Chain A
Amino acid sequence: MNAIDPRVISPHAYGAVRWAALATAAGQRIPFGAILLIVVLLGAAGFGISRTRRGRHGKERDDGWGRRNAPTAPPAPPVATVSATPPAAAISPEPPATADAAPAPPRTAHPIPAPTVAPDVTRTADSIPAPARTPRPATSFERPADGWAVETHGLTKRFGATVAVNGVELLVPRGVAFGYLGPNGAGKTTLIRTLLGLTRANGGTMSLLGIPVPAQRSLAQARVGAIVDEPRFHPHLTGRDNLRLLAAARGGDARQRIGPSLERVGLAERADDKVASYSMGMRQRLGVASCLLGDPELLILDEPMNGLDPAGMHEMRTMIISLVDEGRTVVLSSHLLDEVERTCDAVAIVDRGRVVRQGPIDELTRGTDAGSLLVDCADPARAARLIDEAGIAAGTSLTDAGLTVTLPAGSSRELVADINRRLVGSGISVYGLQETRASLEEWFLSVTTRLGENP
């Protein structure tokens, strides 16, 4: 153990002082006055550095645009349509992609404005309108001609006896927001690190944008931007200088994209401040800006909502959606089910290092539970008898809120209309029908094994 940690009390000052003392003791011919002056100067410098280091990392949370302590509000519960489609099974893996690097497909231009730099600080998550999202065709899990955005087969990564990634079969379509969802410790970050060459796989094959890695890693990663764990930067450099560093590593035109990237994430005004003064939200945004330096076709974002308040999460969501609308593929690793549900088109559920399900969210959640119908009507008891006698529902129950009808598995939306017709036809006034289905969260808990386990 180091008795004195130079990170705390200026390591250089400590080393020099110690050396000077030892050198003097050793009888070397160093003028004592010079040593004394150096020691005093070093001490003063070390003291100054220690002072400036204090309070560097503030506890305030903000949304990444410099708004601190914005009011928070719980996210709205998901309400969606019950679908009659049967449960989606795990997607069968296809044979590994060929090694040829196919060109990227044309992207669709969607002129969505960049996020506003300084929105009203009084807004809460509830008052923020939902992100404008350009309608996209249903996510297709047919193999694209130019390869999947991400494709792994039997990918395995072990740390000693622990298998963090266990034979993962993953197929990420192009041009979608794809959620990689799993509880803490499920192996999400390890998979991303393996894909990006940050650690070596113990088995399996993988490709990014149809390009096999690690065989052609440089070629593949030139088209990929990523945030892993959390965005990290040199705190003593400005945001712009940090991007210069990364742009120099990327080469090509990356340096010319520094300004536009900063503009895009709303950090242009703070770009010349040291990163040490940035909030977590601003670092997340700088992380996205760093991803954009390579004008990537594929972005891999690991827990991008971490540290963001609701307004910041909303802005991040907007940005992710706008990136997808430009034709980029965004892989979003998260344990925040609600965020994934709001942002992504398709998901893969990972548990204990294995992908247990993957596919479009609607297909996955549809049919796991048929859902229910809350009926607000004039005579709930008679309505319940009527529905039971008709035999069109799996069950009914009377609650304080009214009549709850359990819909049978596989039922379609037409059943809701049918119930409404029958009630009205029987002279029962119907004031409202509210259909609910299993949320991604409920479904997630049903397919993972962590429910009820101690954290």
Chain B
Amino acid sequence: MTSPAPTAEPLLSAGRSPTRPGRVTVPRRLGAALPTWDLIVTKHLELRKRRGLMITVAVMIIAPTVLIMGLRLGFHLFDPAHYGPAGSPSVFNAIANLMAEFGFIVAAVVGAAAATTDLNDGVFRYLVITGRSRLALYLARIPAGLAILISALAISFTMLCLVTAYESVPQPTTVSMNNNISVPAHLDQAQLQTWVGQHPRQAGQAFFDILSGPGSGQVQPNASVASTDFTQYTSAEDTQFNPAPNEMFKIGLWLGLEIGIGFLVGLGLGSLTGQRTLSTILLIGLEIIVTPILARAEIPYFLNGQRLDVGVAMDQLRPAALAPATPGGGGGPGGLLFGGRGALGIPPMPTWSMISVIVGWIVVWSVVGAWRMMTRDA
């Protein structure tokens, strides 16, 4: 009598050996909600081999850094007299902001693709037929897609940081303010107050808001530094100084969060609608039309509604060293995670609200996407 084998017979030759009773091995975790490593790896493979998608990721996340930095390095190399070093605070800010905007959009595209390719290719039903938990199939898409996006971001942002740190203009020791008045760098508000007291005449020309009288150009030694003046000072710092390594790290984390949110929302929306194009268009609209409006213009009686936009919350969370793409933001408290000052043109929301909005978007869209996947006819 044949004793039961510990594992299933892997071979499938036509002349297979007799079947033993109950010999079909059912993977113990087939119905489990957590995806297996194999499931994640193969989903990553499926996404990675979509050439158009990968070209989009590369072009929108990596290419701006490579092109801009490459051109600047080249110009400086061949004609240093006319072209300065490749790295500069303004270029860093421009590319980081570009990465944030393009990153969110491309993350939404990848998320929508991850959600819909199985459906559109007709493979979803065959995945369901395997008996694997639909939730596990959904959850496997998250690390698979994020692995692609985060690696692209890491490559691009590391390149940006390296060029900015090692191929940059010499860092000044002062901040150039209004009327080309130089103010010592890296002062906090109290230190700036002291400097104003010691240099009332220069302060009057550098900071218009602390003037003692119109047109006098003089301030009293005990004049207080307004918050707008300090904001103006720090903004000038951001555009004239390279971010410190720890600030770069914070900016990298913020960009990662931006991309992660874009991906998860795209995944959830794509799963809900089952349509990649529609989901992508909606999220592009959110990023480039809705969010700028909600973040910069206060709509009467709708302030709390504006704050529910994840883009608004993310703008408030923007790290201090990353100047907003469009200057003029009023600034919020931020500060909890990234020391940010925000780029908002509307009154900031409390920190707990900001975090709730961000977490809420992640959780709600993930739940909606997973629910739709679990209930959808395959």
Contact between B36 and A198, CB atoms less than 8 A apart: no
Smallest CB–CB gap between B85 and chain A, Å? 16
For B64, what are the chain A residues with a Cβ–Cβ distance below 8 Å?
34, 38
Contact between A246 and B127, CB atoms less than 8 A apart: yes
Contact between B8 and A253, CB atoms less than 8 A apart: yes
Any B CB within 8 A of the CB of A226:
yes
Any B CB within 8 A of the CB of A233:
yes
Contact between B132 and A290, CB atoms less than 8 A apart: no
List 9 A–B pairs whose Cβ atoms lie within 8 Å, in order of A's numbering.
A18-B284, A104-B22, A104-B24, A198-B129, A199-B378, A219-B31, A246-B130, A250-B130, A256-B10
Complex Cα–Cα for A322 and B15 (A): 9
Contact between A7 and B46, CB atoms less than 8 A apart: no
Complex Cα–Cα for A29 and B280 (A): 24
Q: Indicate which residue in A37, A49, A251 contacts B51 across the interface (CB closer than 8 Å).
A: A49
Contact between A23 and B101, CB atoms less than 8 A apart: yes
Known: A233-B123, A245-B45. A294 touches B7 (CB 8 A): no
For B188, what are the chain A residues with a Cβ–Cβ distance below 8 Å?
none
Most buried by A among B19, B36, B45, B122: B19
Q: Indicate which residue in B25, B45, B276 contacts A252 across the interface (CB closer than 8 Å).
A: B25
Any A CB within 8 A of the CB of B269:
no
- The interface bits of chain A over 1-42 (1 if a CB of B lies within 8 angstroms of the residue's CB, else 0) are 010011100111101101100110011111101100110011
Looking at A111-119, A366-374, A383-391, the stretch in contact with chain B turns out to be A111-119
Q: Which of B251-276 contact A (CB under 8 A)?
A: 276
Contact between A250 and B12, CB atoms less than 8 A apart: no
For B12, what are the chain A residues with a Cβ–Cβ distance below 8 Å?
257, 260-261, 264, 292, 295
Q: Which of B119-138 contact A (CB under 8 A)?
A: 121-123, 125-133, 137
Any B CB within 8 A of the CB of A327:
yes
Complex Cα–Cα for A218 and B32 (A): 9
Any B CB within 8 A of the CB of A58:
no
Smallest CB–CB gap between B377 and chain A, Å? 4
Complex Cα–Cα for A124 and B106 (A): 52
For B53, what are the chain A residues with a Cβ–Cβ distance below 8 Å?
12
Complex Cα–Cα for A390 and B284 (A): 89
- The interface bits of chain A over 144-188 (1 if a CB of B lies within 8 angstroms of the residue's CB, else 0) are 000000000000000000000000000000000000000000000
For B377, what are the chain A residues with a Cβ–Cβ distance below 8 Å?
193, 198-200
Known: A5-B277, A326-B14. A19 touches B288 (CB 8 A): yes
Complex Cα–Cα for A89 and B29 (A): 44
Looking at A79-87, A236-244, A340-348, A356-364, the stretch in contact with chain B turns out to be A236-244
Q: Indicate which residue in A16, A23, A104, A251 contacts B36 across the interface (CB closer than 8 Å).
A: A251
CB-CB nearest in chain A for B18: A109
Contact between A45 and B101, CB atoms less than 8 A apart: no
Any B CB within 8 A of the CB of A417:
no
Complex Cα–Cα for A22 and B102 (A): 12
Known: A112-B15, A255-B38, A327-B19. A12 touches B52 (CB 8 A): yes
For B101, what are the chain A residues with a Cβ–Cβ distance below 8 Å?
19, 23, 28
For A113, what are the chain B residues with a Cβ–Cβ distance below 8 Å?
14-15
Contact between A37 and B14, CB atoms less than 8 A apart: no
Known: A22-B288, A234-B123, A260-B12. 18 other contacts (CB 8 A): A16-B60, A28-B326, A38-B64, A113-B15, A197-B128, A217-B31, A220-B131, A223-B26, A228-B125, A232-B122, A237-B46, A248-B36, A250-B27, A250-B30, A250-B131, A252-B8, A252-B25, A295-B9
Most buried by B among A26, A225, A248, A249: A249
Contact between B129 and A226, CB atoms less than 8 A apart: yes
Known: A104-B21, A107-B18, A249-B132. A241 touches B97 (CB 8 A): no
Contact between B128 and A196, CB atoms less than 8 A apart: yes
Q: Indicate which residue in B13, B122, B137 contacts A260 across the interface (CB closer than 8 Å).
A: B13
Complex Cα–Cα for A226 and B122 (A): 14
Smallest CB–CB gap between A11 and chain B, Å? 6
Any A CB within 8 A of the CB of B81:
no
- The interface bits of chain B over 74-96 (1 if a CB of A lies within 8 angstroms of the residue's CB, else 0) are 00000000000000000001100
Contact between A15 and B280, CB atoms less than 8 A apart: yes
CB-CB nearest in chain A for B101: A23
CB-CB nearest in chain A for B125: A198
Complex Cα–Cα for A326 and B19 (A): 9
For B24, what are the chain A residues with a Cβ–Cβ distance below 8 Å?
104, 222-223, 294-295, 297
Any B CB within 8 A of the CB of A224:
yes
Residues on B close to A: CB < 8 A?
A: 7-27, 29-31, 36, 38-39, 41-43, 45-46, 49-53, 55-56, 59-60, 63-64, 67-68, 71, 93-94, 97-98, 101-102, 105-106, 109, 117, 121-123, 125-133, 137, 276-277, 280-281, 284, 288-289, 292, 325-326, 377-378
Complex Cα–Cα for A221 and B129 (A): 6
Q: Indicate which residue in B36, B55, B109, B288 contacts A45 across the interface (CB closer than 8 Å).
A: B55
Contact between B129 and A260, CB atoms less than 8 A apart: no
CB-CB nearest in chain B for A200: B377
Contact between A248 and B121, CB atoms less than 8 A apart: no
Known: A38-B64, A218-B30, A250-B131. A232 touches B123 (CB 8 A): yes
Any B CB within 8 A of the CB of A103:
yes
Residues on A close to B: CB < 8 A?
A: 2, 5-7, 10-13, 15-16, 18-19, 22-23, 26-31, 33-34, 37-38, 41-42, 45-46, 49, 103-114, 193, 196-200, 217-226, 228-237, 241-242, 244-253, 255-257, 260-261, 264, 290, 292, 294-295, 297, 322, 326-327
CB-CB nearest in chain B for A264: B12
Known: A18-B284, A295-B8, A295-B9. A106 touches B38 (CB 8 A): no
Contact between A106 and B21, CB atoms less than 8 A apart: yes
What are the 7 tightest A-B residue pairs by CB atom distance, in nearest-first order?
Answer: A232-B122, A12-B56, A103-B22, A111-B15, A221-B131, A251-B27, A218-B31
Q: Indicate which residue in B49, B93, B102 contacts A237 across the interface (CB closer than 8 Å).
A: B49
Complex Cα–Cα for A313 and B71 (A): 60
Smallest CB–CB gap between A219 and chain B, Å? 6
For B325, what are the chain A residues with a Cβ–Cβ distance below 8 Å?
28-30
Complex Cα–Cα for A219 and B39 (A): 18
Contact between A13 and B130, CB atoms less than 8 A apart: no
Complex Cα–Cα for A13 and B15 (A): 52
Q: Indicate which residue in B8, B46, B277, B292 contacts A234 across the interface (CB closer than 8 Å).
A: B46
For B326, what are the chain A residues with a Cβ–Cβ distance below 8 Å?
26-29
For B93, what are the chain A residues with a Cβ–Cβ distance below 8 Å?
29
Smallest CB–CB gap between B12 and chain A, Å? 4
Smallest CB–CB gap between B371 and chain A, Å? 14
For B277, what are the chain A residues with a Cβ–Cβ distance below 8 Å?
2, 5-7, 11
Complex Cα–Cα for A260 and B46 (A): 22
Complex Cα–Cα for A269 and B285 (A): 47
Contact between A257 and B11, CB atoms less than 8 A apart: yes
For A251, what are the chain B residues with a Cβ–Cβ distance below 8 Å?
27, 29-30, 36, 38, 132
Most buried by B among A108, A221, A244: A221
Complex Cα–Cα for A252 and B7 (A): 9
Smallest CB–CB gap between A36 and chain B, Å? 10
Contact between A248 and B41, CB atoms less than 8 A apart: yes
Contact between A222 and B36, CB atoms less than 8 A apart: no
For B49, what are the chain A residues with a Cβ–Cβ distance below 8 Å?
236-237, 241
Complex Cα–Cα for A179 and B317 (A): 63
